[in-house]
Amino acid sequence: MKFLYDFFPILLFFLAYKLWGIYTATAVAIGAAAVQTLAFWLKHRRFEKMHLITFSLLLVFGGLTLLLRDPVFIKWKPTVINWLFAAVFLGSHWIGARPLVERMMSHAIKAQRAVWLRLSWMWIVFFVGIGLLNLYVAYNYSEDTWVNFKLFGMLGITLVFVIGQAFYLSRYVVEQETAEKES
C-alpha cells in the first residue's frame, strides 16, 4: 500500500497526461504531491523527507514548466532527484561512520565493510545512470514516449535493479532463527 501511496503523484501525472496533456499533468502532479505531503503529516504529525523533496522539486520544475510553457523543466525533475540521491549516497562515504545503504539495511544484513561500499557504489552508479537515461529519452524521443518511460521504464529498471541487489545480498541476510539462537 505504501508503494501506491508513494507513487500517487506519478500515477496521477500519467493519467492526467493521457487525458489532458503535459501542462495539466504537471499541475495535477504538483497538487497530488501537496496532498500526499499534507496527508502524511496529518496522519503521522511529521513529514517524510522523500515527500518533501518530491514536492519541492515538482514545485520548482513543474512551476517553471507551467510558467514558461516549456515541458523541458518537468522532464529534468526525475534526473535531478536521481542525481541528488547519488550525491547523498556518495556523501555518506565521508559523512558518518558508515555508508547510507549500510545505515539503512544493517539491521537485517550482516556484511563486511567492502560489501557495503560495493553496494553503495552500485546505487550511486544506478542513480547517475537512470538520470542520464531519463535525459536521453527526454531529448531523443517524443513527449509521449518520455511519459511512458517515466512511469513504466524507470519503474521497471528500478525493480530489476532492486531484485539484482536482493540476489547479491541474499547471502548476507541474517535468518530470524539463526539470530534467535545466537541470542
Residues 88-141 pLDDT 10s: 999 999 998 899 999 988 887 888 888 999 999 999 999 999 999 999 999 999
C-alpha cell at 114: 567492502
Segment holding 55, helix H or strand E: helix 49-57
pLDDT at 183: 53
CA-to-CA dists, residue 102 to 27, 106, 122, 158, angstroms: 37, 5, 13, 19
pLDDT at 177: 47
- Given a contact cutoff of 8 angstroms between Cβ atoms, the answer to whether 157 and 123 are in contact is no
> Which residues of the chain are under the pLDDT cut of 50?
176-177, 179
Which residues, other chains included, contact 106 with Cβ-Cβ below 8 Å and sequence gap of 6+?
Answer: 98, 116
Which residues, other chains included, contact 176 with Cβ-Cβ below 8 Å and sequence gap of 6+?
Answer: none
Rg (CA), the chain: 19
pLDDT at 133: 98
pLDDT at 5: 73
